[in-house]
Amino acid sequence: MEHTAFPLQSLDQEPWIKLADASELATWSREDQIRYNQKIRHLYKYSFYVTTFGYLAANEIGGDYFEFGCHRVRTFRMALTEARRQMLDEMRFFAFDSFQGLPEEGLAEAGHSAYTPGALCTPLPAFWEIINAHGLSLDKVRAFPGFYNESLTPQLSDGLLSQGARAALVNVDCDIYESAVPVFQFLEPFLQVGTVVYLDDMFAAYRGAPNKGVHQAFLEFQARSSFSFEVYKPSLGTFGRAFVAYK
């Protein structure tokens, strides 16, 4: 995949990557910064989805896509697109989200100005509007609304397991420790050898500390899981990292 965010220059124009100079940055604004950061982050996220769905297909890892945190349906649509490209026609797509934004619990410790109650909210009707406009695998998409400590119940787990659900790729994009804990408690029975677990927010908030937040919840989960986890993608854009489950 061509990384057009980093255009190359000819050999006589060192450092060979085209750098914006004073004239190009003279009117640089907060809006430009946000647009630039989002472009970089999603460039690498999409590259991850392209390569990971290729990994799943090449290794014949069947199963479903689980996403915990579906704001703006960005990565969810990446999954729908790349599953179709890799002919993973039996894959189902499970969207778990409060659809009410962030909960109140745990936000103070995260220490991020953007993390406020109700922030990062895509309501359920908006989720379905975006999914329907994308138009792929509509009959295989299911949404499970509610805060995770209430919605990720043993009854839901048993119901999905009875329908043959198992995880091929898991995107844990729930920002804070308190949201991630019930996610990992829920996940164990759906894992299989080869499952990819993507932590979208491993270094987000908490001043980037890798022993807090979502990664703290994952470390605690690893200590009790019957699976081991090997790093699959050591650096995934600005905040992320991915792991492969094995025994």
Residue-wise pLDDT tens digits, 143-172: 999 999 999 999 999 999 999 999 999 999
Distance of CA 143 to the CA centre of its chain: 16
**CATH number of the domain within which 140 lies:** 3.40.50.150
The verdict on residue 8 lying in a domain is no
Ramachandran class of 149: left when φ > 0, alpha when ψ lies in -120 to 50, beta otherwise = alpha
Please check whether residue 223 lies inside any domain of the structure. yes
Total number of domains in the chain: 1
Range of the domain at 128: 44-246
pLDDT tens by residue, 179-195: 999 999 999 999 999 99
Q: What is the pLDDT along the chain (247 residues), one digit of tens a residue?
A: 444 567 888 888 888 888 999 999 999 999 999 999 999 999 999 999 999 999 999 999 999 999 999 999 999 999 999 999 999 999 999 999 999 999 999 999 999 999 999 999 999 999 999 999 999 999 999 999 999 999 999 999 999 999 999 999 999 999 999 999 999 999 999 999 999 999 999 999 999 998 999 999 999 999 999 999 999 988 888 899 999 999 9
Looking at the domain assignment, is residue 185 inside a domain?
yes
16 lies in some domain: no
DSSP string, 28-42: --HHHHHHHHHHHHH
Look at residue 28 and tell me if it is in a domain: no
Specify burial of residue 247 (Cβ count, 10 A radius: 0-12, 13-18, 19+).
exposed
Q: 14 in a domain, yes or no? A: no
| Domain membership flag for residue 87 | yes
| C-alpha pair distances (Å), 118 with each of 66, 107, 114 | 22, 11, 10
